[in-house]
Structure 1
């Protein structure tokens, strides 16, 4: 659990779960966007950043249970909001559902840029495990996940592709359990240019919330626009 700007006296917490191939870095600047009474906490999966020496996760359920344990023990003493992007959206949904069953659910859940859990695994979805390293690299560089500075470093490129492939392996092992829903207010956010059916993908989330559900369309693709991403907390309704 990474705290870019620790605020132990804050009365509430925003917990962010990242996307395939990513770490906590894309979310760290959000700490400056939050109100003073909220602390930003980022989940770092194994095999990256401070957990670089640990082996990658290989199965969805053990990784999800690890995240739930961390959230329940380290965060849930205060009201908290869960946010997940792409793979992190489905992870946040599952974490919310499992934490609710343990009596420590979030006050709200925001999911971003992802197909609904009921659709996973998505046939023909990009990126996917059947693609070559070059194809995965092309996806990362064109969608905006990989900065140009990293593309100029062959060893870092190789590490980035390996990390993405490891996370895709975890994602491929996910299976939605019929009937799983969340009671927390659910916000679904998607980019208007994120694939051929981004609006349809967002709407298929709607049946997974038992409480209030809202859908918000934003400009841009899988990561919206740089301006929107840099100030994304302002788009999280519960904040």
Structure 2
């Protein structure tokens, strides 16, 4: 993948053949740093790639998305040159919703190439969203809610300038996540591995068990240690599951 591609960042190149690609999508406002810690643990035949959306990092000044369809269409167009080889999607929270949306398009356009969809800390499309909506909160309440969720470094809340740059992206993507619902007539024709934490106050087992209804293949629901941000706090556990499930990515 070209280093100049603004949409993707390759965190680990595959060092064994035949190779496949794992596309990763972070939570609202998240960055590639979440998945960078996976680099040393992901199997040698897997290329690890993080998708970068507007509003963070090198795309900080770009306009954020406020509707699902333009976001999905643009990300899919950006990834299309890379989807002709075997691949899988991993998305956490907001990123899980985006990964599911992209899986629908990828399966239709590149039959047989999408081998698995991983969703973690992400309610199924038919599960009700917690209320009240975070994205509708006044600024002070929203900041407090984001801080309580975790996932955002505590020291960031002491840097007002950085906070003002980051929080609009977090709010925008939380809004998309909260308003997301079942947008398709059927589930994806891809096996789903859904990871949840029993200590997740946002999307735990109750809101994730419905994923079995959104695939025409096998779906498994796996418990993970930690709270909502277990992708950050327990990377070894998550990558162990990923490696096991992707052992036949090129089979």
Structure 1 length as normaliser, TM-score?
0.89
2:46 match: 38
Do the aligned partners of 1:30 and 1:231 also contact (CA within 8 Å) in 2?
Answer: no
Give the deviation of 1:116 after TM superposition.
Answer: 0.8
CA distance in 2, matches of 1:225, 1:170: 21
Q: CA RMSD in A?
A: 2.3
**1:92 Cα deviation from its structure 2 partner:** 0.7
CA contact (8 A) 1:59 1:173 kept: no
Equivalent runs, 1:99-138 vs 2, <5 Å: 99-104=106-111, 105-119=113-127, 122-124=129-131, 128-138=134-144
Q: 2:99 aligns with which of 92, 100, 110?
A: 92
**Structure 1: tracts of 5 or more residues without a match:** none
**Alpha carbons of structure 1 residues 33 and 125: separation in structure 2 relative to 1, 3 Å:** farther
Further displaced range: 185-194 or 7-16: 7-16
Deviations 1:22-48 (A, max 9, x none): 222211221221122111111101121
Q: Is the 8 A contact 2:88 2:116 kept in 1?
A: yes
Q: Please report how far the alpha carbon of residue 8 of structure 1 lies from its aligned counterpart in structure 2 after TM superposition.
A: 8.2
**Aligned length in residues:** 236
Find the partner of 1:77 among 84, 101, 106.
Answer: 84
Distance, in Å, in 2 between the alignment partners of 1:230 and 1:158 is: 33
- Mapped pair 1:220 → 2:232: no
Query: Distance in 2 between the 1:52 and 1:60 partners?
Result: 19
Q: 1:123 to 1:218 in 2, by over 3 A?
A: closer
The residue that corresponds to 1:202 in the other structure is 208
Partner of residue 2, structure 1: 9
Name 1:150's counterpart in structure 2. Answer: 156
Match of 1:68 among 76, 85, 97: 76
Structure 2, gaps ≥5 residues long: 1-7, 247-251
Q: CA offset at residue 125 of structure 1?
A: 5.5
Q: Which residue is 2:194 aligned to?
A: 188
